[in-house]
Amino acid sequence: MRKLVSRTSPSMAVAMIALFVSLGGVSWAVATGSIGSKAVKDNSIQGRDVRDESLESRDVVNGGLQSRDVRDGALRGVDINDRSLGGIDLASNTLGDREIDETKLDINRLGGVRSGRFVSRVRRVKTETPADAATPKAAPPARCPKGTRLLGGGARVAAPAGTPVALSTSAPRGNAWEALAYATVPTGNWQLVAYALCG
């Protein structure tokens, strides 16, 4: 062994040192965290290589996620900014009476334009029942005055949120609008309102 060491030339020693450094270089880079994106083969990292819940929004390119990247049914109302959706974000004919708060409707406006732009001398006639717990209720017909004709109408239940009341009839009859409703279980006070648009 001593003979081998004594016969080793300086150039051989340098070569051996370079060999050991090259062999240990990869493990040294891993240990010091110096591997960069250039050292990783494209498309070689998989989901199992990333620790759960370790990625943040800053790790995703702005605008990089698409609808196909989101699982169906995964988004909820809390994931969408209040008042951020508009009519163009909804498919045609997807809204029903459950999605519309009838108390917020203004039946004298059509598409944001006063109905008077379409029909002159439009008048709204409203009738209502007493506000009590009686059931069923029939609102007095909302009848258009003489000399006018029924253009449309509707009905709504005036009651606290969650009151179990079902609207069974809301329809025109002759020159008036009729409305019927009933409570599905015993409940507190509620009121039925019918209205007609006349012109």
The pLDDT of residue 52 = 83
pLDDT tens, residue by residue, 19-57: 665 655 555 555 555 666 777 788 778 878 788 878 887
**CB neighbour burial string for 137-173, b if at least 16 within 10 angstroms, e if fewer:** bebebbbbeeebebbebbbbbbbeeeeebebeebebe
Cβ neighbours for 111, distance < 8 A, ≥ 6 positions apart: none
Arithmetic mean of pLDDT, 109-135: 79
The full set of domain ranges for the chain reads 1-33, 102-198
Global pTM?
Answer: 0.43
User: In the numeric block, which tokens belong to residue 18?
Assistant: 């370079």
